[in-house]
Chains A and B, each alone.
Chain A
Amino acid sequence: MNYKMRCYNCGAHLTEQDFCTNCGVDVKGYKHIVMASNRMYNDGLEKAGVRDLSGAIVSLRECLRLNKNHVDARNLLGLVYFETGEVVAALSEWVISKNIRPNKNMADTYINMVQENQSRLEQINKTIRNYNQALANCQQDGKDMAIIQLKKVLAVNPNFLRARQLLALLYMDAQNYEMAERELKKCLKTDNGSLLTKRYLQETDNMLRPKELAGQDVPEKKAEDSDTIRYINPNHDLVIQPAHIKEPKATGSVFNVLLGIAIGVAAAFFLILPARIQAVREETNAELIAVNEQAADKAAQLDELSVQVAELSQKNKELSSQLEQYAGTDGNLELAEKLLTAAQMYLATPDEEGLRTIGRNLMDIQEGADVSTLSDSFQNLFRTLMAVAGPQISDLHYNEGYAAFQEGDFTTAIDSYTQAVFFDATDVETLYQLGNAYRKNDDTENAKKIYQQVIELFPNTDRATRSQQYLNQLG
């Protein structure tokens, strides 16, 4: 396309003359510049047509350096920028173009196309920010993070040439030349004229196929290549698989069958047998555990029975002890024997010695057991004896005590008076004399206790008055 020339002085259309037919200005040199810019525009257009976008950019920029008012060149440059993902550069060119020619300008359409889809524009702007961030990460040794960010950028804006070239460079730095090559080939699909892409591609080619480059051992390489097929799956992984699958030979069938049997036997030996042994062991262990539990139960029962035996033994001992209290060494009931003996002696009209024996027996019964817990007949006989024989025995002990008191044997006197009081507690004189015996024997405490009993049991008596006097004296 040829650019229609206008006079730089008056703006009129120029003719074939070397001067402006309107204002007369010399336009010869100017025409040369405009024609040169037209040639560059045509060159750029041709390169853009075969997707040599880098070459188109160079030509179109040269065109605009010659003639900044070349609207078509500027619009085309914007389109080329847009195609390589450089949205801001594209918008710049289109805005300037529209400023040069406000009406009937394709830039209008392009700008509207971009501005109408605000979400897409925002998305693209985000990819630009991510690219910048990835570039910063590369410079700060965050290459892994940069690769992730660039993958995201290219998922949204696949034609972003700079981002893809940077991703390829990162793959090359990580010595992942297969992935780098794949990205660079995509770069070539977008722009097949980029020198940077071609240089990186040459480097990856050198690293991936060094032998081919050196011209050495090519047949071996081909043989290796013929054995495998390489491709990249949708997850971006390089897959290498055998090119040919060998058909099984008939002669190997027998060997395969034997091998299968051997493997089966080995599996039975190494897998099934250990499992069976393990099962038997588990069964035995379970039985052992059950037996142990039963043994533990038996042991617990044995302990319980032992405790019961100990308790019963203790009880038996106590009962035996109680029985011994009642029974004599010859097996007769000792207390009953004593009571019966005392009753028999009393019925036989006892002398002084007999009364003493009756007294000893009755005292033994009183001291040996709680009479109220014994049988009714025993209690009745005991009380009857105490009532009929008690005063006589008491008199006997009183006399003994009195004699001992007179002789100054206060200990014997105390013993005798105590027995006399036991057999007849109704006699105030006996109790009073017991108090005197204690006092004379210097047992002040017991003396005071006895005097107090005299005062309480026999109030308003002469002995009570004397007891009070002695109490006052003893303090």
Chain B
Amino acid sequence: MIVFEEEIKKFHPCLEVEEVADAIYNQDMTDMADVLVSVVREAKVEAEGKNTDKE
């Protein structure tokens, strides 16, 4: 059974054309590739740190 009051909460106002810039700036642009590169770089730094300690 559809309950109007519950369903209406699922509808949100649309952004107007003047608000395009805000929509772009507010997008979260981080992707999995960024995460991977970050992880790899941290791992590399960590490995270099261990090598320095051994020497």
Taking Cβ atoms with an 8 Å cutoff, the residues of A that contact B are 8-9, 25-26, 29-30, 33-34, 36-37, 64-69, 86-89, 91-92, 95-96, 121, 124-125, 128-129, 131-132, 135-136, 138-139, 162, 165-166, 169, 172-173, 196, 199-200, 203
Contact = CB atoms under 8 A, between A and B. Distances in A.
A308 B28 CA distance: 116
A67 B24 contact: no
A88 B15 CA distance: 6
A26 B7 CA distance: 49
A121 B16 CA distance: 11
Interface string B12-49: 11111111100110010111111011001000000000
Contact of A88 (B7, B17, B40): B17
Contact of A173 (B4, B11, B19, B29): B4
Contacts of A68: 29-31, 33-34
Closest 6 CB pairs of A and B: A68-B31, A88-B15, A173-B4, A132-B13, A92-B23, A125-B17
Contact of B33 (A8, A89, A128, A172): A8
A92 B31 contact: no
A177 B21 CA distance: 40
Most chain B CB within 10 A, of A29, A88, A196, is at A88
Contacts of A89: 15, 23
A184 B23 CA distance: 29
Contacts of B33: 8, 30, 33-34, 66-69
Nearest to B23: A92
A256 B36 CA distance: 90
Contacts of B36: 8, 29-30, 33
Given A169-B2, A172-B2, A125 B32 contact: no
B54 interface: no
12 contacts: A30-B37, A37-B32, A64-B31, A67-B32, A68-B29, A69-B31, A87-B17, A88-B19, A89-B23, A95-B24, A129-B16, A135-B13
A128 B18 CA distance: 11
Contacts of A124: 17
B10 interface: yes
Contact of A203 (B2, B16, B17): B2
Contacts of B29: 68, 96
Contacts of B13: 131-132, 135-136
Contacts of B40: 25-26, 29
Nearest to B2: A203
A409 B6 CA distance: 137
B17 to A, nearest CB: 5
Contacts of B10: 196
A173 B8 CA distance: 11
Nearest to A125: B17
Contacts of B15: 88-89, 128
Contacts of A203: 1-2
A137 to B, nearest CB: 11
Contacts of B4: 169, 172-173
A196 B36 CA distance: 35
Contacts of A91: 17, 20
A203 B6 CA distance: 15
Nearest to B13: A132
A110 B12 CA distance: 26
A29 B40 CA distance: 10
Contacts of B19: 88
Nearest to A29: B36
A95 B20 CA distance: 9
A65 B31 contact: yes
A94 to B, nearest CB: 10
B3 to A, nearest CB: 10
A91 B33 CA distance: 24
B47 to A, nearest CB: 12
B2 to A, nearest CB: 5
A33 B34 CA distance: 10
Contacts of A37: 32
Contacts of A26: 40
A125 B15 CA distance: 9
